[in-house]
Structure 1
Amino acid sequence: MYRGVYQKSLTLSGVRHGYHISRVSSDRVWISDNKGNLILTNTKGEELDRVTNIGSVVWGGHTVDSNGDLIYIDRELNISKLSTEDRVKTTIIKYNTTPWRPQCVYSSPSTGDLLVGMYRGDTRTGQVVRYNSTGENIQTVQNNNITGQELYRDPIYITENRNGDVIVSDISRVVVTDREGNYRFSYRGPPSGSRLTPQGICTDALSHILVCDLYTQSVQMLDSEGHYLTEIKTSQHGIDNPISLSYDEDTHLLWVGTWNNNTVNIYRVVDTDSLTGVPLEDIKCKKHPRIPLDQFCTPCGVPLCVECTSSEDHSRHDLRKIKTLFDNIHEIEGMSLNLL
């Protein structure tokens, strides 16, 4: 079972909301609102940089490539790149006034391709276009290869999983295709039967899919096949309408933004199954078999004994008493556990 471990909240300067988040590094992300503001911020919430010609697209309108360069949809609906080194802006894909309007963009870490979600207003349909690094259209996905029906209505956020799957937030469902554009599955909501209003989307190091849902006001986690695993109720920590996500594979932290204000929450998603049903006094350290694991290293997400806490790997980390983690009921197989 997975649980979201709340770490902290940031109040950002320079944006009014947190509509989309693009990771640059473990301590820096780009964040935009729906007022044309796009800023680079650190883990203290400080504005480090700003782009002023971003378009009014309020969804997944920017991404960061493998070089750390910012790629975004500008005011003219061109897809532009801002170089980190020399601050030079270049146009990668020029908007040609066709009926198709770009709404979201994602840079593939594995191929360097750009995935762009498009919307056509007169027919109220969508498509996903793949461009190579020079801006050449190399693939257009619009219809279900099995049924021939349209796959997308209004793609607003897009990402790619580690297996090459392309994952899109689209009105009332999440649509997943493989790298070749073949339809795999759709996710329409949790087993409770509630409907889905998907927004920001990302994947983690284990290929889980995480999606913001405005209807349940939660972040829902799926496995790579679209099966529901768990959800994070962000309203418990001050975010009533989660709308954007970014996952950091180096720190395993999840950034969650909201459309309500300029607050961003940071979580760690951990697997708690190994902690359920086991008496605390029976949990021993593998390195020091006679010493119980009585501490939990929050940054690393691992239990430790008193000897391990003094090692260089954990000595400066945030440590919590495991007993405290078990004290508050959190509905894990009838046992007490609260990882907050």
Structure 2
Amino acid sequence: MTQVLRKCKSVLFGKGVLKNFEERRRSTSETNDEWEEEAKLYRRERRVTFADIEELHTKFAKSTRSSAEVGLTNVGYIHRNCAEHLDVQTDPVFSHIPEEPAESVIGHVTVLRTSDGAQKRHARNCDPHEVTFGKRGKNVGEFQDATGITYISRDQVLVTDMVNNRMQLCNRTGETSVVYSGEDISEPWSACLTTDGYIAFTSRRRKCVVVMSREGDILWSFGAGFFECPCGVCVDTDGNFVVTDAFTNCVSIHNKTGQFLKYIGNPKIADQQFSKPRYVCVSPRGEIIVSDSGHHRIKLFDKGGHFVRSIGKFGKKDGELKTPYGVCTDSLGHILVADHYNNRISMFTREGAFVCHVIEESLSVKHPKGIALSPHLNLYVSSGDLKACEIKIYKLKCSDPTVIVDV
């Protein structure tokens, strides 16, 4: 019992707190049960258990990789508060960053930043209305498995690379401006922006959702011990987190601090059951849209999490799906779906009616995974044969007030 408790305390508290903890224990006559209760209390109060803050601060006090190693012409390691390397007020990548409470900063990840135009890798114009960039690899501008794409602003997207354990901020010309990497970014599947402007991403290896500032400070996390395989994450109109778990086949809602609120869907009703739910998004009306990959359907829930309808079925005909992955909506609430094994992007109305195939296999999209649509109707798609290693951008247009089609 003593060894188990010591191990638990080491994970929870870090070295400094653990020493005080042990000294106080030796000087008192409290029983093991009383110490177990105190350990449980600390576990509830401390949301993040990655490492002691002093260890992290020392660990990331300087850059561990040189410019030559990553192949960049002008790379700056962004230290805490970023004062040494960029002007937060003028840099478009880091503008509008909310002030963060000092006590919430418990870690830092490695952030590499390139100068404007310094990193434009493997970009080519395949079509007047299509741009493709990226290739398989570990260098900046390359991807091993681009599972998620999140639109940030000004036609910049954050690409999560689960195999390379990093995220890259790219623009629509293929330039990589920021790379987030480090031990705390472990198998990131997808990401979203919080209502405070922070970045939240799912970590499949750590089995939790991590919240990070745009400068790379790990602020807090939630879900450790709750999730088994977190994949999709988004924030609803109230600022709550919606997270999919492909192992437990559950979709859960958590408040702004990560506290569990409820599950959506009813496992006792066939239409509301999930099988490998992977991606999730929220429509402009606040509806929750889940790609139920194992059932080859899209599940639609209202703002309160109540089931509305199921869209699609297994097949390759119009309106049918084979393992849907990424989902997003346009400003009118139309649903765009990455139809993974049919090699296309399909569109449905919120009522479930099939509209069209926005992108088909003839436009060189293979096994699409993550998708994101910008306000300027630039559709970003990650695709590839076995793993997604390319990002494709298609320019869409409105052909009438209700339907978006490819040009």
User: Could you state the TM-score of these two structures normalised by the residue count of structure 1?
Assistant: 0.69
* Partner SS for 1:54: coil
Seen in structure 2, the aligned counterparts of structure 1 residues 254 and 103 have a Cα distance that, compared at 3 Å, is same
Comparing both structures, which one devotes a greater share of its residues to strand? 1
Q: Which amino acid aligns with 1:265?
A: K
1:162 aligns with 284
Does 1:30 find its partner at 2:161?
no
> Hey, what's the Cα distance between the residues in 2 that align with 1:248 and 1:104?
19
> Hey, what's the Cα distance between the residues in 1 that align with 2:263 and 2:198?
25
Seen in structure 2, the aligned counterparts of structure 1 residues 14 and 137 have a Cα distance that, compared at 3 Å, is same
Does 1:91 find its partner at 2:207?
no
1:80 aligns with 210
2:132 aligns with 9
> Hey, what's the Cα distance between the residues in 1 that align with 2:286 and 2:391?
28
Does 1:254 find its partner at 2:379?
yes
Q: Which amino acid aligns with 2:384?
A: W
Seen in structure 2, the aligned counterparts of structure 1 residues 204 and 83 have a Cα distance that, compared at 3 Å, is same
Aligned pairs for 1:226-305 within 5 A: 226-249=352-375, 251-260=376-385, 261-272=388-399
More RCO (CA 8 Å, sep 6+): 1
CA drift of 1:91 comes to: 1.9
* Partner SS for 1:215: helix
Runs of 4+ in structure 1 over 4 Å off: none
1:132 aligns with 255
* Partner SS for 2:280: strand
Among 110, 116, 122, which residue is 2:243 paired with?
Answer: 116
In the alignment, structure 1 segments of 5+ residues that lack a partner are: 275-300, 302-331, 333-337
> Hey, what's the Cα distance between the residues in 2 that align with 1:208 and 1:270?
14
Moved more, 7-16 or 211-220: 7-16
- Number of paired residues? 264
> Percentage identity across aligned positions?
22
Seen in structure 2, the aligned counterparts of structure 1 residues 94 and 199 have a Cα distance that, compared at 3 Å, is closer
1:44 aligns with 173
> Hey, what's the Cα distance between the residues in 1 that align with 2:382 and 2:272?
30
Contact 1:246 1:254 in 2 (8 A): yes
> Hey, what's the Cα distance between the residues in 1 that align with 2:166 and 2:373?
21
User: Could you state the TM-score of these two structures normalised by the residue count of structure 2?
Assistant: 0.59
Higher-Rg structure is 2
Does 1:214 find its partner at 2:340?
yes
> Hey, what's the Cα distance between the residues in 2 that align with 1:193 and 1:83?
39
In the alignment, structure 2 segments of 5+ residues that lack a partner are: 1-127, 136-140
* Partner SS for 2:273: coil
> Hey, what's the Cα distance between the residues in 1 that align with 2:318 and 2:365?
22
Contact 2:382 2:392 in 1 (8 A): yes
Contact 1:63 1:72 in 2 (8 A): yes
